[in-house]
Amino acid sequence: MKVNDIIIIGAGASGLAAAITAARTNPQACILILEKKDKPARKLLATGNGRCNITNLACPGYRNTLRFFESVGILAREENEGRFYPYTGKASDVVHALLRTAKALGIEILCGAEVTEVSKADNGFSVKLAGGEVHTSRKLLIAAGGKASPQYGTSGDAGRLARSLGHSVTKLAPALTSIDIKGADGTLKGIRVKARVSLYLGDREKSEERLLASELGELQFTETGISGVCVFNLSRLLEIDDNRAFENYEAEIDFAPDMDINTVKELLSERETIEGMTQDEILSGIVDERIAKIIAARAEHEKYAMDTAADFAAGLKAFRLKVASAGGWKAAQCTRGGVPLSEVEPETMESKLCPGLFLSGEVLDYDGPCGGFNLQHAWETGMKAGVKMAK
Ligand SMILES: Cc1cc2nc3c(=O)[nH]c(=O)nc-3n(C[C@H](O)[C@H](O)[C@H](O)COP(=O)(O)OP(=O)(O)OC[C@H]3O[C@@H](n4cnc5c(N)ncnc54)[C@H](O)[C@@H]3O)c2cc1C
């Protein structure tokens, strides 16, 4: 039986970066990538809404990533908030460049090859596929991702495989996902607005509430709750207990983030004097009428200040929603939890528990905010593993 120098499980972001780097480090190395899906890099094609946000200026290793992409023929440019995208704005170009380079370097990619078992063998590893086929290698890289967006091939296999070779896996939870809201009935679906969203935890009535974080950005209302990059980033802070209880979380939306409450109040008071403007219309042109109706109804119910302008201003600046749950795995862009970083060598990604085994990408316990941080982690850890595996 042919013994490969390196087997990589997963032809995603991290696995491809690792394979290319390994082949360049040692052109003689015999490298095999085993990919569960019928085509490589399915998830990469979907990244950044099909545009692939490769990295971010705020990542210490971003220059190295940009150099790597230049070396495979992809020029990237910075857009808003330090985010780098390929010049063409097409994730498919990134995938094409990686696959072209891998092919030119003689890297073999076997698709439809779902790895179900890995074990230590003489001088290396034995890797078994769902069909029963067995492949062997001297070095093994688990780059099979996390559990987020299983439709792209990632359903938690990587963690199970790592565990079978002695690693631990911390609790997994969906991150960078939408947030479901209690009582959402779809009436607000489709509303998109620039807003500040804050996430609170604790009992407000007992004054035990604390602000976890605030994010400014484009907010979208969905059938079941709220979505958008600002919401995705906040979803990383939802702690999920074993009962999936989210009882004490509330989201607060500020629909007028560029004005303080007094300015809003004054503005609304002035609007009250506009000829012909009814109370129902005071918020029109500021927020969607469906939101305006809810603010008016809450003001009517609570009668906080007995002053319409003040009540509406409070509703507009602090529109509260009770969190029901985090959106599920299917909508999540990333996985929280995984193999602890402390179980791998930080410069090579080699396992501290099983020599010759490497782990890279989302299988590790790392999750970053939206903006290119998660792909950066995948490229960077893949490249580090590639260098060491090839030596
Ligand atoms: C819709 C979406 C958009 C995103 N956009 C961005 C973005 O713009 N910027 C950003 O930084 N991050 C983004 N992310 C996150 C980013 O894509 C991931 O963090 C990154 O792809 C992880 O890389 P990886 O190589 O570890 O895993 P993946 O890229 O997920 O690759 C893992 C591969 O392993 C394969 N595999 C799994 N199990 C097995 C098995 N048993 N046998 C063989 N193969 C297996 C999978 O099929 C898959 O191809 C996005 C994620 C999603 C879902």
Q: pLDDT tens digit string along 149-196? A: 999 999 999 999 999 999 999 999 889 999 999 999 999 999 999 999
Mean pLDDT across the chain: 94
Whether residues 351 and 230 fall in one domain: no
CA–CA gap between residue 47 and residue 53 (Å, rounded): 7
Residue 367 scores a pLDDT above 90: yes
Structure tokens belonging to residue 280: 């129902």
Closest ligand 1 atom to residue 113 Cα is: 43
Predicted local confidence at residue 281, as pLDDT: 85
**Which of 326, 342, 362 is the last residue in one of the domains?**
326
Whether residues 106 and 255 fall in one domain: no
To 10 degrees, the CA torsion angle through 98, 175, 161, 364? 70
Whether residues 350 and 382 fall in one domain: yes
Give the pLDDT mean for 71-100: 97
Q: Whose CA is nearest to atom 35 of ligand 1?
A: 10
Ligand 1 contacts (CB < 6 A) are: 9-15, 34-37, 42-44, 46-48, 52-53, 113-115, 143-145, 148-149, 153-154, 157-158, 333-334, 361-362, 372-375, 378
Predicted local confidence at residue 204, as pLDDT: 82
Q: Do residues 94 and 73 lie in contact, with contact meaning Cβ atoms separated by under 8 Å?
A: no
Residue 305 scores a pLDDT above 80: no
Closest ligand 1 atom to residue 40 Cα is: 49
pTM: 0.91
CB atoms within 10 A of CB 105: 16
Closest ligand 1 atom to residue 360 Cα is: 26
CATH at residue 37: 3.50.50.60
Whether residues 267 and 367 fall in one domain: no
Whether residues 286 and 242 fall in one domain: yes
Residue 28 scores a pLDDT above 80: yes
Domain range enclosing 88: 3-173+333-390
Closest ligand 1 atom to residue 149 Cα is: 53
Structure tokens belonging to residue 58: 């705020």
Whether residues 111 and 24 fall in one domain: yes
Structure tokens belonging to residue 214: 């605030």
Q: Do the strands 173-175 and 179-181 form a parallel or antiparallel pair, or are they unpaired?
A: unpaired
The pick from 116, 333, 367 for probing ligand 1's pocket by mutation, whose C-beta has the most ligand atoms within 8 angstroms, reads 333
Predicted local confidence at residue 276, as pLDDT: 82
